[in-house]
Amino acid sequence: MAYPRGPAKNVTVTQDHIDKGIPRDSGYCMIAEAIKSTIPWASWVSVDLQTIRFTDLNRKLRFTYLTPRSCQEVLADWDDGIKPEPWTFKLKEAHVTRAGRYKPKSAEQAARDNAARRHRSKPVPDLPRRRTIAPRGNDLSGNVSEVVGGHPPPVSINRRRAFGLRSLRR
């Protein structure tokens, strides 16, 4: 079974993104602004020292990437008031989960969802509720695998990155 994969994108953080970004805010920082301009369909973008997350509302999927080390260092400096030079980083190997909350559905709600699915232009993929190890892409040899479904890594309590930055050392 083929599972959806997250997009692998080169993201360029420009001087405009750096000037527009808000320090210590995971939804409006310079990296989040760069992702929004690179991936126009990305919604609910959130960037912290551990993960970069965004949602495809059309496909009802949430993509979670580990934050690259270069971005972690720049974020730590930027939140301390040091403005960086523009740079490029790559998003790759996303953990793909269903967007929205994991609540058990009533039979009536499930019937309404099924009826709505028939009228959507893009089908919603059927991801496993439990975390599953699957072969990546067309590699059926089993040499390369990826995690699909389940719950994404936990997020911090709020959108602000004001706490915990002192632990990042070079």
C-alpha span between 19 and 30 (Å, rounded): 8
| Average of per-residue pLDDT values in the chain | 78
- Position 135 scores a pLDDT of 65
Phi and psi torsions of 54, nearest 5°? -155, 165
0.85 exceeded by pTM: no
Which of 69, 65, 89 is closest to 147 using CA atoms?
65
Q: Hey, which residues does 46 pair with through a beta bridge?
A: 53
CB half-sphere exposure, 148, CA atoms < 13 A = 18
CA atoms within 13 A on the CB side of 37: 15
Residues 5, 41: Cα–Cα separation, whole Å: 15
pLDDT tens-digit readout, 115-169: 655 555 555 556 666 666 666 655 555 566 666 667 676 665 555 555 444 455 4
